[in-house]
Amino acid sequence: MSGDDAATGAEPGAVNLNHPGVEPAIVRLDSVTHEYGGAGRRVVALQDLDLAVGRGELLCLLGASGCGKSTMLNLIAGLEDPTRGAVTRPESGAALMFQDSALFPWLDVTTNVELALRLRGVPRRERQQEARRLLALVRLEDAAKRRVHELSGGMRQRAALARALAQNTEVLLMDEPFAALDAITRDLLHLELLDLWRELGRTIVFVTHNVREAVALGQRVLLLSSRPGRVIGEWHTADVEGHGAQAAGIAADITAALRRELERHA
Question: Which positions touch ligand ADP (CB under 6 A)?
Answer: 36-37, 43, 45, 63, 65-71, 227
Quick check: 225 binds Mg ion (CB under 5 A)?
no
| Binding at 230: pick from ligand ADP, Mg ion, none (beta carbon under 5-8 Å per type) | none
Nearest approach in angstroms of CB 151 to ligand ADP is 25
Least Å distance between CB 67 and ligand ADP? 4
User: Nearest 5°: CA angle at 200, between 89 and 152?
Assistant: 95
Tell me whether residue 28 or residue 69 sits nearer to Mg ion (CB atom). Answer: 69
Site size for Mg ion, by CB under 5 A?
Answer: 2
Which one of the spans 67-75, 90-98, 141-149, 221-229 is the region binding Mg ion (CB under 5 A)?
Answer: 67-75
Cβ atoms of 232 and 261 within 8 Å: the answer is yes
State the CB neighbour count (10 A cutoff) for residue 17. Answer: 18
Closer of 166 and 254 to ligand ADP (Cβ): 254
Q: Which residue is nearest to Mg ion (CB)?
A: 70
CA distance 150 to 143: 10
From CA 104, how far away is CA 212, in angstroms rounded? 31
The entry of ligand ADP, Mg ion, none that residue 67 binds, CB within 5 to 8 Å by partner kind: ligand ADP
Tell me how many degrees the CA angle 44-50-55 measures, rounded to the nearest 5: 130
Residue 71: CB partners within 8 Å, gap ≥ 6? 34, 45, 46, 80, 229
If one asks whether residue 203 binds Mg ion (CB under 5 A), the answer comes out as no
Residue 70, interface with Mg ion (CB under 5 A)? yes
> Are the CB atoms for 233 and 264 separated by under 8 Å?
no
**Least distance (Å) from ligand ADP to the CB of residue 34?**
8
Contact criterion met (CB below 8 Å) for 59 and 91: no
Q: Output the smallest distance, CB 176 to ligand ADP, in A.
A: 8
Question: Do residues 32 and 49 make contact, with C-beta atoms less than 8 angstroms apart?
Answer: yes
Question: What are the Cα distances from residue 92, in Å, to 57, 80, 88, 172, 209?
Answer: 16, 17, 12, 11, 28
| Minimum CB–partner distance for residue 144 and ligand ADP (Å) | 32
The distance of closest approach from Cβ of residue 30 to ligand ADP in the complex, given in angstroms and rounded to an integer, is 19
For residue 38, give the 3-state DSSP assignment: coil
* Residue 71, binding choice from Mg ion, ligand ADP, none, Cβ under 5 to 8 Å by partner class: ligand ADP
Which DSSP letter does residue 126 get? H
| Minimum CB distance to ligand ADP, residue 77 (Å) | 12
The entry of Mg ion, ligand ADP, none near residue 43 (CB within 5 to 8 angstroms by kind) is: ligand ADP
Cβ distance to ligand ADP smaller for residue 11 or 36: 36
Chain residues in the site for Mg ion (CB under 5 A): 69-70
